[in-house]
């Protein structure tokens, strides 16, 4: 199971520790370049801030995710690594978090500083919705044109995703939930008239209940 933020999602949370303000922003990204673009945007948006610490986790097809973190001038290990640890804790991939800090005049020390960066990131991630990727089977159904419209309505009513295909003969591309007996459903609806063949699988994203 792959956990993600919804497509296009970006969110933020603010934490204040001894007058230092930590603004954590999280976003879904498709690749490393997009993650770095989010960090650069934070720098442009808040040029008065002293630090923009960040981390991201980006999936790689067939390989291990790419992970990067940056302390951006904070003492080594006090900025980027706590943010990356928060990302690990969320179990999200294809995600970037940048925490912008405005110094409040009071030095925090390495431990409290790292905790503040991690807490700010964790708060933004906690508030964010999740989706998960699931593999759903697809089936191609061949039926007479005269039955096409009614069959689309019947299948849609049963919660299946249906895409009509028009060519020399009528066909439907049907996407089902895992475990759904599509052959049995179609046999009942078409009295055995429809021809059914497996058409592979498709990755879908579904909302993950809180």
Q: Which residues contact 124 (CB under 8 A, 6 or more apart)?
A: 11, 12, 13, 24, 25, 26, 97
For the chain, which residues make up each domain, given as ranges? 2-129, 132-207
Classified by CATH at the fold level, domain 2-129 comes out as Ribosomal Protein S5; domain 2 (3.30.230)
Quote the CA–CA distance of 193 and 150 in Å, as a whole number: 13
> Minimal CA–CA distance to 127: which of 186, 86, 174, 68?
86
pLDDT tens figures, 92-129: 999 999 999 999 889 999 999 999 999 999 999 999 99
What is the pLDDT at residue 202?
Answer: 79
Torsion of CA 152, 154, 160, 161, to 10 degrees: 20
Q: How many percent of the chain have pLDDT more than 70?
A: 97
Look up the CATH number of domain 132-207: 3.30.70.240
Instruction: Dump pLDDT digits (tens) for 152-189.
Output: 888 888 878 888 877 667 788 888 887 778 888 877 88
* pLDDT at residue 166, as a whole number: 76
Task: Work out whether the CA dihedral 60, 161, 128, 37 comes out positive or negative.
Answer: positive
């Amino acid at each position: 199971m792959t956990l993600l933020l919804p497509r296009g999602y970006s969110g933020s949370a603010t934490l204040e520790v001894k007058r230092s303000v930590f603004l954590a922003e999280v976003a879904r990204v498709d690749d490393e370049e997009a993650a770095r673009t989010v960090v650069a945007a934070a720098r442009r948006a808040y040029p008065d801030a002293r630090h923009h610490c960040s981390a991201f986790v980006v999936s790689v097809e067939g390989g291990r995710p790419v992970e990067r973190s940056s302390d951006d001038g904070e003492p080594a290990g006090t900025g980027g690594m706590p943010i990356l640890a928060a990302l690990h804790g969320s179990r999200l991939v294809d995600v970037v978090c940048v925490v912008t800090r405005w110094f409040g005049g009071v030095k925090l020390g390495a431990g409290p500083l790292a905790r503040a960066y991690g807490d700010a990131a964790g708060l933004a991630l906690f508030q964010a919705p999740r989706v998960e990727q699931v593999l759903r089977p697809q089936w191609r159904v061949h039926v007479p044109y005269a039955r096409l419209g009614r069959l689309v309505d019947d299948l849609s009513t049963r919660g299946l995703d249906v895409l009509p295909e028009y060519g020399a003969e009528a066909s439907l591309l049907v996407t089902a939930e895992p475990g759904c007996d599509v052959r049995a459903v179609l046999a009942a609806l078409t009295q055995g008239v429809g021809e059914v063949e497996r058409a592979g699988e498709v990755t879908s994203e579904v909302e993950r209940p809180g």
